[in-house]
């Protein structure tokens, strides 16, 4: 009987140990993922998490066709992998669920105006691939208030989305400048916009890029102005899960390829000429020299595919949010480093 008890007890301990190991493995599998590319190829599509509807960045038309700056980043990844920018399934995600759904593998990449911060990498087990858009928090007010600076907002009621870095920056700015304000925070951005548009608050605050986009959704867009003040650094970047270096490299170098292409003057219109170029840096970019694409499990012409189907960084910026678009946002910091901005990509070599 004693022998049976010891054996039974040992079995329980072994069983418990196995259960703990399985649970730990499940947590690791949920948080870390090393097979994104293989699953993407098998499924024949990239799962891309985007904003639920932000003009210029990610928005569907009445037929469900998505367009925008963030959308084009996912199309570029698909072009690099499949030579087809349409092999993307867009999944709209709210701000409150975006990181959790990425971690849970509902999407392969989050391309959704998300600010790169340390805590978001450490707490969620995620990696921000590369800064696609340099932004900062700003303020929008009604023209009738005749305000020229955020320092004149003392006593204002401010609409802000809850649970965002925007809300934290707002508190820091007003406290640092000894300015009093009332905060109306709501969990969904749509509700924040409606509250501001209906006059429930005097000020709307979010990233400047979003302010340009959201102004188009107001009842009378022309009656609202975006103040020149930028109160924070908001480096917006696509996000992937940690512990999948191969996938991180693909997403990162997709953005860098588009930036390098613009710097080298390679566009969607002259890509065929670029393939004949004898300039070493152009040859490395388009894949006629070296095996850079193969080193990240892509084809030699991976970058040429991106440029042909989606365009270089400048083309993507201008058609979606640039001066010629409805948003008409100046390039500013997002201009190339040799043209007055800070956008800068490591070389392909």
Domains of the chain are 37-132+238-334 (3.40.190.10), 135-235 (3.40.190.10)
pLDDT in tens, 160-188: 999 888 999 999 999 999 999 999 999 99
Residue 161: DSSP 8-state: E
Q: Is the pLDDT of residue 223 over 90?
A: yes
The overall average pLDDT reported for the chain is 92
Alpha-carbon span 262 to 170, nearest angstrom: 35
Residue 206: DSSP 8-state: E
- Mean pLDDT across the stretch 285-310? 97
pLDDT in tens, 255-276: 999 999 999 999 999 999 999 9
Q: Is the pLDDT of residue 21 over 60?
A: no
Given a contact cutoff of 8 angstroms between Cβ atoms, the answer to whether 254 and 73 are in contact is yes
Q: Is the pLDDT of residue 37 over 80?
A: yes
| Res 9: pLDDT | 52
pLDDT in tens, 275-284: 999 999 999 9
- Please give the angle made by the CA atoms of 186, 73 and 303, to the nearest 5 degrees: 165
Helix axes 313-320, 245-264, angle to 10 degrees: 80
Residue 223: DSSP 8-state: G
Q: Is the pLDDT of residue 5 over 60?
A: no
Residue by residue, DSSP assigns 51-109 as -SSBTTTBEE-TTS-EESHHHHHHHHHHHHHHS-TT-EEEEE--TTTHHHHHHTTS-SE
Q: Is the pLDDT of residue 214 over 90?
A: yes
Spell out the residues 6+ positions from residue 154 whose beta carbon is closer than 8 angstroms to its own.
Answer: 179, 180, 181
More confident residue, 254 or 164: 254
CB burial of residue 93 (10 Å; 0-12, 13-18, 19+): buried
Q: Which of 322, 328, 308, 331 is nearest to 261 (CA)?
A: 308
Partnered with residue 50 across adjacent β-strands are: 92
Residue 224: DSSP 8-state: E
Long-range contacts of 181-184 (CB under 8 A, 24+ apart): 181/153, 181/154, 181/155, 181/156, 181/157, 182/156, 182/157, 182/158, 183/157, 183/158, 184/157, 184/158, 184/159, 184/160
């Amino acid at each position: 009987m004693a022998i049976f008890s010891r054996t039974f007890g040992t079995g329980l301990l072994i069983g418990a140990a196995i259960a703990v190991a399985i649970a730990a493995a499940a947590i690791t599998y949920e948080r870390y993922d090393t097979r994104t590319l293989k699953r993407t190829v098998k499924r024949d599509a990239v799962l891309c998490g985007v904003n639920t509807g932000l003009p210029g960045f990610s928005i569907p038309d009445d037929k469900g066709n998505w367009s925008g700056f963030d959308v084009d980043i996912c199309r570029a990844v698909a072009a690099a992998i499949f030579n087809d920018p349409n092999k993307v399934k867009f999944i709209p995600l709210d701000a409150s669920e975006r990181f959790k759904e990425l971690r849970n593998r509902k999407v392969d990449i989050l391309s959704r105006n998300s600010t790169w911060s340390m805590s978001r990498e450490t707490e969620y087990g995620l990696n921000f691939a590369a800064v696609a858009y340099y932004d900062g928090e700003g303020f929008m007010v009604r023209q009738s208030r005749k305000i020229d600076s955020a320092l004149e907002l003392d006593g204002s009621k401010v609409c802000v989305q809850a649970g965002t870095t925007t809300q934290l920056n707002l508190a820091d700015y007003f406290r640092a400048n000894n300015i009093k304000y009332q905060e109306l925070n709501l969990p969904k951005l749509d509700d924040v916009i409606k509250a501001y548009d209906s006059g429930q608050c005097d000020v709307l605050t979010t990233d400047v890029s979003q302010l340009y986009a959201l102004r188009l959704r107001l009842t009378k867009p022309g009656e609202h102005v975006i103040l020149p003040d930028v109160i924070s650094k908001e480096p917006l970047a696509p996000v992937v899960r940690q512990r999948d270096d191969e996938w991180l490299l693909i997403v990162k170098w997709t953005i860098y390829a588009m930036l390098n292409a613009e710097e080298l003057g390679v566009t969607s219109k002259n890509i065929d000429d670029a393939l004949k170029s004898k300039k070493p840096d152009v040859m490395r970019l388009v894949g006629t020299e070296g095996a850079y694409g193969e080193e990240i499990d892509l084809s030699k012409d991976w970058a040429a595919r991106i440029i042909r189907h989606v365009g270089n960084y400048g083309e993507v910026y201008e058609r979606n949010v640039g001066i010629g678009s409805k948003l008409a946002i100046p390039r500013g910091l997002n201009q190339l480093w040799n043209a007055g901005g800070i956008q800068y990509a490591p070389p392909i070599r």
